[in-house]
Structure 1
Amino acid sequence: MSTAEEIVEAVGGPDNIVSLTHCATRLRFQLADASGIDTPKVESIKGVMGAVPQAGERYQIIMGGAVQNTYQAINELPEMQGRRELTDAELKAAARAGGVRGKFAWIDSFFEFLSDSFRPILGALLGASLFITFMSLMSTLGVIGNWADPRTELPPSWQFVNLLWQSVFVFLPLMVAYNASKKVGADPWVGFAIMALVMLPGFTGLGASEAAYTASVAGSEVTLIDIFGVPLTIFSYNSQVFPPLLMAGLLGPLYKLLKKIIPDNLQLIFVPFLAMLIMLPLTAFLIGPIGVFIGAWVAGGLGAINALNPLIFAIIIPLAYPFMVPLGLHWPLNAVMLLNIQNLGYDYIQGPMGAWNFACFGATAGVLFLAWRDRDVQMRQTATGALAAGLLGGISEPSLYGIHLRFKKIYPRMLVGCLVGGLILGIGGWLTTPVHTQAFVFTSLLTIPAFTNMPLYALAIGAAFFTSMILVIIFDYRTPEQKAAAKLTGDADVPVEAEPRVIVVGDVETNQARQWVAALGGESNILAVEPVAETRIRVEVRDTDAVDAEALRRAGLAGAVQVAPGVWHLVAGLEADQYAEGMRRRLAAVNA
């Protein structure tokens, strides 16, 4: 059975899948019913780095760099082509469930909107960041002048190379407008067209006409021109992301309203027309300028903090990012970085962000070391993919969702690495020159040349990486039960649960004994039971084929493995003695 087939089966089959999308590293399922999914079983599938159950019948499976191929393979399965269409009642129920996201649902929806507006273009951004790094490296080596300074005259050949990354960042507002409009349920091409208005050469050309004039707006000098007596603000919207986000935020409700009041047979023509009729001038005159000023205000606030105390800023950013990224709070900061580069010519956030990223990757490297030492196949596979995505692509999600958020002991070790990297950047920047970058890049090994004061930056991220890695190796990241399970299973492909379930209701030993005895083939199949090595129970059985190892894990065991013909070890944790006694009493009661 292929990986795609195993995943579809594990999530309840094709008929249980309402929709399937993907981001840079994860398959994102909307299911009709997610209650029956066995997450440990999903995580044991070859190629799967981890699984993240979510509210509202949503389920995410972490695939790392293989996500695109897996997504295509799932959609190409014959059973996905001929799956049953969900009834209206099921679709409505799934939609209602998808909206149930806790006490502050609008906050979750807002950050999901931000994430989905950027995630589909991560590949393009990553590719462009490597072109930027190449230009930075050539400038550092003296092959070309300062490529980021518009006053520098580059040879025509290098001018062309410099255009390669601009194709992404100049037109970034159009990409964001498309994704954001799609996320809110509007026609994404309508959103694209609305944002394209303010990026037309003719639009910016209005600012050069004789009728244009300057005025002070919100403390800034801007260019204005009267259009039918109404002042129109002329900005360069290149690389801006707040305006398209605001535009889409209004376009979505407008689209839904128009679909309600316009008959079905007229919607194809009049919904997009009326939406454009309203949103085109509204974006040019109001939404666009507001978005520019919001971005400038946020960037100015962070700039003021950095100017007040760069050392504190360099520490706060890497310590905050481990908590911001899982919640999607880092996306607005990415927009601020782009604004800094556009307005200041450089950005001061990406350096401290690099300290967080490499502390994260260092923790993953520590996990990989322990997985190799303990011959933990599942974790070795997960950590290898996550580390490659991090060091080469600067993407932290595979590490976070696949490992760090599953093992709560990792975060304290990782935060120490963040602190060390931030301190080095802050103190080093105060003693020498601060670390800046003149372009938006993903903080990976490949983009180190894009940063000024490269030796200081390399020292900081190296210290963050090795601090986290060494702390994880020395102090481990697992509970004693998880560690014992990893050593016991060895090269056997037996998944280790991140948090073994502990039953605390009623008579614990009796309840667990009943479940485990049944999974071992019943009382008549068990010859002997005894605790061993503090955390394990040794069980001798008559017929190994009657043992259901999967049922044992579902019943709360961290691991179950056959160590010899007719002999099984159950990883029961520090209460192995009590559980073994419970099983013996169960056998004695039945045999009596």
Structure 2
Amino acid sequence: MTTPATGHDALAEQILRGVGGPENIESLTHCATRLRFQLHDGKKVDQAALDRLDGVMGTVPQSGDRFQIVIGGAVASVHSKIINLPSMKAGGTPAPQSNADVKAAARAKGRGRYAWLDNFFEYLSDSFRPLLGVLLGASLIIAIASMLDAFGLVDFRAANKSATWVFVDAMWRSVLYFLPIMVAYNAAKKLKIDPWIGATVMAAVMTPNFTGMIGSKTPGVETHINHTLGTTESVAHVFGLPMQLNDYGGQVFVPLLMVALLALVYKGLKRIFPENVQMVFVPFFSMLIMIPLTAFLIGPLGVWAGNGLGSGLSWLNTNAPIVFAIVIPMLYPFLVPLGLHWPLNALMLVNINTLGYDFIQGPMGTWNFACFGATAGVLLLSIRHREKDMRQTATGALAAGLLGGISEPSLYGIHLRFKRIYPRMLVGCLAGGVIIGLLGGVNTNAFAFTSVLTIPVFTPMIKYIIAISAAFIISMVLVVVSDYRTPEERAEANAERDAAEAAARGDVVARSETVADDRELVAVGAAAPAAAAGASTDSAVVSAAGGASAGAAAGKATELKAPVAGRVIGLGEVEDPVFASRALGEGVGIEPADGHVVAPVAGELITVADTGHAFGIRTEDGIEVLIHVGIDTVQMQGEGFDVRVEAGQTVAAGDLLAEVDLGAVRAAEHPTVTLMTVLNTADVTSVEPHAGQDVAVGAPVVTVRR
């Protein structure tokens, strides 16, 4: 007997099914928060099913059959579980291509539409992404040392340090100094060539033998002082040719350029040499060609390119600091989701390596804290509205952000799912950028992930604290005040929560899983509210207290009147499974005799769907009523619906809400039944529908007891 899978095992199996099974996976990698699939056929992905999985924060389809699944901090464990599933032994292999496929791929490359751009940025991103962990580790070591320096316990910036602090420096400098070798390894792996050759070529120009020639009196080495720039330049004459000497520690553009050319050389050599001797001659000739090319040409070119870009940004930062300080935080919210922020991160490293400090990370920090502030706002709202899943998501995302400086859990888990967040977050980014610009900029002499722990590495620290605090607080307040959900989404979410809590208490009205699948009802704002006044007849009774009869039900009675004339039926007879399951509360359906739709009760119109097919009313005593005209009529996009009211308006029972062309509804092949439910059924004593009768507009059809 097989033991059912639990935890990450179950999630791994569900994800595997969601992406089309192991046979649909060409390759699978992961970064700090995301599983990254290269699929044979992206159309086989069940994105909706993946989005509903517990443990999945979001999904990101990309061009070229690439697909990302955002997991968060547990991504490494989930990746390991998927890789080790027995069924994966048959997966992860390239799909066989027909002649037509090969020709189509060649034509696509020739056209160069979108794939080449995606591939370019994927190359940049995948060269850095695997280093995220060690970069974060180095960043936190710097942060701890900087905090000790800020409290006067050690002079972190002293010229002559003790052996202890020289050793501590080595712990984080190892990552930044040898970064070119690591980037070369990853870049070569990305381009599917031997990654150790890429690392070896880069390491050759970083050996003590090579760097030791800089400024030395080695025969054949000339050193000149550039009095204009205040720099020292060394040139070595190798085989009679001049070679500019550079310290390539911390450089990132050099390995990226070098590996791009190495890939051409390596693959060309593999075509030249027979397979049985490739292991010897391909690495040999690759090194023999690429090491001199890197030392003589690519290295100096990469340094010049990096320095040129850094100098250009430095000029902008010096001459128009407020423009620079605003542009950076306003760009990052759009660059990070696409993975396009790595080139700017590379420039930060170039600045630290060449200038000794960086001026990009300060303004960038305001974007990060605006992002975390928006997440904090979502967390507060999720606590207020008792949203357990969102509270857990926001808590984890906020911890990853404030402590680690990682924004992806916030972005993919929350912000990109709710369109209202981004405009509010951008206001925080703008405010933080303006403050940094007006105060004259913020610098740092270390590469750091912008978190609470790394605040001490920025100078002047007080300016940085003011800017990030403003960005955080403004974004948080704007999200809390205006909500991250639309009124319709909020009403729907609250209705789902109430029904879920009722089901958990064992009440008669239970949540149907159909609600999670019914996108149309979410758009409708099925959470729209209402209640009313009226009379009562014999009928079924739903009691939130445990199914008491009408005679036993206590409390004030409110009558909901018929919003349309026609035949009253029970929800169980309705064709829509969501309404039939009482997932949106107890109520009735009415087969309308005409398209004259009125308010069934006095109250405030909380929701008026743009398409005119749904209205939500809340009564003075808090009864929430949904009037939904037809089934799936949202697809008509308002055609045939003449709405006479607007959200926020107060109506009396019998006031006209809309005129509906029932002929148009039937022509569109949608049922015309008009539904009326009490959304907060779980919060009242009982809801008594009076079905099985023909009624005129305004006749009592539902009794609600508080």
TM score, norm. by length of structure 2: 0.70
User: For 1:328-367, what aligned pairs fall within 5 Å after superposition?
Assistant: 328-367=339-378
1:174 aligns with 2:174: no
**Bigger mean CA offset, 485-494 vs 323-332:** 485-494
- Taking a change above 3 Å as real, the CA distance of residues 410 and 87 of structure 1, as seen in their structure-2 partners, is closer
1:542 and 1:566 in contact (8 A); partners too = no
Aligned to 2:145: 135
Q: State the shift of 1:355 in Å.
A: 0.5
1:572 and 1:579 in contact (8 A); partners too = no
CA distance in 2, matches of 1:547, 1:354: 49
Secondary structure of 2:629's aligned partner: helix
Q: State the shift of 1:234 in Å.
A: 1.1
CA distance in 2, matches of 1:380, 1:38: 26
- Taking a change above 3 Å as real, the CA distance of residues 412 and 28 of structure 1, as seen in their structure-2 partners, is same
1:461 aligns with 2:492: no
**Bigger mean CA offset, 29-38 vs 182-191:** 29-38
Aligned to 2:654: none
Secondary structure of 2:164's aligned partner: helix
Aligned to 1:519: none
1:442 aligns with 2:455: no
Aligned to 2:327: 316
CA distance in 2, matches of 1:344, 1:531: 75
- Taking a change above 3 Å as real, the CA distance of residues 224 and 398 of structure 1, as seen in their structure-2 partners, is same
User: For 1:419-434, what aligned pairs fall within 5 Å after superposition?
Assistant: 419-429=430-440, 434=441
Q: State the shift of 1:564 in Å.
A: 6.5
CA distance in 2, matches of 1:132, 1:586: 66
The residue identity in structure 1 corresponding to 2:140 is L
1:56 and 1:97 in contact (8 A); partners too = no
CA distance in 2, matches of 1:412, 1:367: 14
- Taking a change above 3 Å as real, the CA distance of residues 244 and 572 of structure 1, as seen in their structure-2 partners, is farther
The residue identity in structure 2 corresponding to 1:579 is G
Q: State the shift of 1:63 in Å.
A: 0.8
CA distance in 2, matches of 1:421, 1:176: 32
**Bigger mean CA offset, 231-240 vs 206-215:** 206-215
> With CA pairs under 8 Å and 6+ residues apart, which has the higher RCO, 1 or 2?
1
Quick one: which of 13, 19, 23 aligns to 2:21? Answer: 13
Q: Which has the higher helix share?
A: 1
- Taking a change above 3 Å as real, the CA distance of residues 462 and 401 of structure 1, as seen in their structure-2 partners, is same
CA distance in 1, matches of 2:315, 2:518: 43
Aligned to 1:30: 38
1:132 and 1:441 in contact (8 A); partners too = yes
- Taking a change above 3 Å as real, the CA distance of residues 68 and 310 of structure 1, as seen in their structure-2 partners, is same
1:374 aligns with 2:385: yes
Quick one: which of 213, 223, 228 aligns to 1:214? Answer: 223
Q: State the shift of 1:305 in Å.
A: 0.6
Quick one: which of 579, 582, 585 aligns to 2:630? Answer: 579
1:377 and 1:490 in contact (8 A); partners too = no
Aligned to 2:424: 413
Aligned to 2:122: 112
Aligned to 2:238: 227
Q: State the shift of 1:501 in Å.
A: 6.5
Which is higher, the Rg of structure 1 or of structure 2? 2
**Bigger mean CA offset, 495-504 vs 209-218:** 495-504
- Taking a change above 3 Å as real, the CA distance of residues 566 and 325 of structure 1, as seen in their structure-2 partners, is same
1:30 and 1:59 in contact (8 A); partners too = yes
Q: Deviations over 1:300-358 (max 9, x none)?
A: 00000111022222122111211222333321221221122222222111111100110
Task: For structure 2, list consecutive stretches of 5 or more residues without a partner in the other structure.
Answer: 501-510, 525-560, 564-568, 590-606, 615-627, 634-664, 675-706
User: For 1:468-487, what aligned pairs fall within 5 Å after superposition?
Assistant: 468-487=475-494
CA distance in 1, matches of 2:84, 2:117: 35
Aligned to 1:541: 572
Q: State the shift of 1:32 in Å.
A: 1.9
Aligned to 2:66: 58
2:630 and 2:672 in contact (8 A); partners too = no
Q: Deviations over 1:252-273 (max 9, x none)?
A: 2222222223222222222222
* Aligned length in residues: 540
CA distance in 1, matches of 2:253, 2:516: 41
Q: State the shift of 1:67 in Å.
A: 0.7
Aligned to 1:562: 583
1:184 and 1:252 in contact (8 A); partners too = yes
**Bigger mean CA offset, 200-209 vs 395-404:** 395-404
- Taking a change above 3 Å as real, the CA distance of residues 79 and 573 of structure 1, as seen in their structure-2 partners, is farther
- Taking a change above 3 Å as real, the CA distance of residues 416 and 171 of structure 1, as seen in their structure-2 partners, is same
> Aligned Cα RMSD in Å?
3.6
CA distance in 2, matches of 1:539, 1:231: 91
CA distance in 2, matches of 1:75, 1:385: 25
CA distance in 1, matches of 2:43, 2:275: 37
- Taking a change above 3 Å as real, the CA distance of residues 485 and 243 of structure 1, as seen in their structure-2 partners, is same
Q: Deviations over 1:36-70 (max 9, x none)?
A: 43323212211111111122221110011111111
Q: Which has the higher strand share?
A: 2
- Taking a change above 3 Å as real, the CA distance of residues 103 and 382 of structure 1, as seen in their structure-2 partners, is farther
Secondary structure of 1:446's aligned partner: coil
Secondary structure of 1:88's aligned partner: coil
- Taking a change above 3 Å as real, the CA distance of residues 481 and 246 of structure 1, as seen in their structure-2 partners, is same
Q: Deviations over 1:231-261 (max 9, x none)?
A: 1111111111110000111112222222223
Secondary structure of 2:442's aligned partner: coil
Aligned to 2:292: 281
Q: State the shift of 1:566 in Å.
A: 11
2:321 and 2:437 in contact (8 A); partners too = yes
**Bigger mean CA offset, 98-107 vs 266-275:** 98-107
The residue identity in structure 2 corresponding to 1:423 is V
1:25 and 1:63 in contact (8 A); partners too = yes
- Taking a change above 3 Å as real, the CA distance of residues 235 and 259 of structure 1, as seen in their structure-2 partners, is same
Task: For structure 1, list consecutive stretches of 5 or more residues without a partner in the other structure.
Answer: 509-529, 533-537, 553-558, 588-592
The residue identity in structure 1 corresponding to 2:330 is L
